[in-house]
Structure 1
Amino acid sequence: MAAPVVASVSPSQGPAPGGTTVTVTGTGFTGATTVRFGAKPATSFTVDSSTQITAVSPSGAGSVNLTVTTSQGTSIQQVPFTYVTSPSLTHLTPTQGPVSGGTTVTLTGTGFTGATTVTLGGVPATSFTVNSATQITAVTPPHTGGAAAVTVTTPGGTSNPDSPSAYFFYAASPSLATVTPASGSTAGGATVALTGNDLLGATAVSFGGVAATSFTVNSASQITAVTPPHATGAVAVTVTTPGGTSNPAGYVYLTLPTLLSLVPDQGPAHAGTVVTVTGTDLTTTTEVRFGSTPAAFTVVSPTQVTVVAPVGADGPVGVTITTGAGTSSPLTYTRIPSPGI
């Protein structure tokens, strides 16, 4: 009988600590007494048939020749089995994204060649590409919120899942509840408070698609933002975090009120004169003042407000109207002395 012939081994590589179960195919395997990986005998082996052996690799390094020995001799074919080092993951970029998944993450480390699996919190990546032995690009799968251990599996084993650098943080999607105040001038510059949930790590605040002039994340439930200039009308306010973009909350841009006339434009020093103020953009009037003194008022229309003049000293005084957009330029109202008796 002839010496055994080794034709192939599958898989043809495994981790340096050994333990890989391989299938050896060839001829003349009946009665095999030894299977060696280089100079080391297999940890164990089973002769399945005269043409197949199942063996478990011992520890080793580099590329070694696999041989089978029977009473008829030892195989002489060069059939390599390669020991590969375990992958190591050292860095993720970015380190966080939404629970919905879909974030493209760059994994940096060593030993990535031949990677078969990338997982985040035990869930396989939606897809991944091995760019080199030191870099993989993976797309995160959907996952519950919180930290998820990232692992890379290759023929050399599985990377370090307990390293602090091997975690990806799944962030919940932000939500907005209120914007206060809910309106302001088209000129921008108003400071508004946005309340909601999961606002930490906000990277953008938008008013109708225009970035806020500035913003500060006060807590997970509040952001203070300065409105940018914008055209008149209602706009959607959104907050973007690593968890995604929030639902829209409403904010209304208003034109600064303009005063055109006071009728009458004079009256006695005592209170009670009803003055009709005409102008533009008066709908959201919140205050009317004669000088520094507030006056009772009624909004009649976007162009008219009736006001009860308050008591004051004789002489001219500036009348202003304040709306959500700001305060108008003043018109002059003159208090005239009462006739002597």
Structure 2
Amino acid sequence: MFHSSICSASSENFPMALSGFEGFEKRLELHFSGDDPVIGIGLRQLHFQSIEEVLHEVQCTVVSAVGNQYFDAYVLSESSLFVYPTKIIIKTCGTTQLLKSIRPLLLLACQVGLSLSQCKYTRGSFIFPKAQPYPHTSFKEEVIYLEENIPSHLCYRKASVMPSILTSHSWHVFVASNESHDDLPDGSFTLEVCMTELDRVLARKFFRRPDDGKTGDTAGKEMTEATGIGGINENALICDFAFDPCGYSMNGVDGDRYSTIHVTPEDGFSYGSFECVGSVYDGRDGIARTLKKVVQVFRPGTVSVAATTSSSHEVWTVVASAVEQLGMKRRSCTADEFPAAGSVVFQTFTPRRK
């Protein structure tokens, strides 16, 4: 378990799509329950070596990390990992094999007296789908793999592809739970924001100068300040990392909440993502202000936002209003309900035509 802002290492070189790097992440969220007498620690008592072994199966490594009294946040060579006492969120990009983490994670959880109660997998549409290895060759294959590798007691299951008018932007969701009802804290939400065609001037700030002599941590902090990312949530403790020759990742830690940003800046397939968790009780202004800051930083050509909420509160209307105030127009909106995960609303935006 991590207790401080620590640890950086050089990332390994893992396979990359021949046509370019795949920015769109795969995201896996696992919830656990059990009779652990030290439930306040739970999964956080796992040895770092055990976590590294899981990540090796996925084909990524830890490059930086930070922790507080609530959870541990790891910046990976291919995105991020968050470990709470009874919850794990792992998202990876490139040609990683994220779903191969399921079996080893379930075994590790069992060792600390926890069993899986909910599994949620989400992703956007890959830019380079043909470069993805098994089991990520198609959403159908991913669902089959998930079905075969999660316990049978998670009997409430649903898979859905949420389309948009932009054929290159669809949202893929799989949820399995041992409860049919919504058991998330009332009012909580998760925003997953995917941005493509980033502003070219901004994207250049995520390239490092050759032989700059800086560590990934030092270069990352400079990028955070130079791009305005540090101002998105000024209360967050930021753990950032810059890759060589380009690319950037950041985890923000604010109490028991996380936020994360990942950037692939190359021309032709530039991509940036932002994810955060929050509560509708923070108010409409808080949600809108954060989202506006994100879009203003990256100035993307296309924005897609998946909002998952456990309550009837219409977070998606706040999302739409905030993004449209920045000169973009909503092109599509799709909604669906999932067992124990609540409602998911997927929206896409592009600049208004003059």
Shared fold per TM-score greater than 0.5:
no
Specify which structure has the higher proportion of strand.
1
Higher relative contact order (CA 8 A, sep 6+): 2
Decide which structure has the larger Cα Rg and report it. Answer: 1
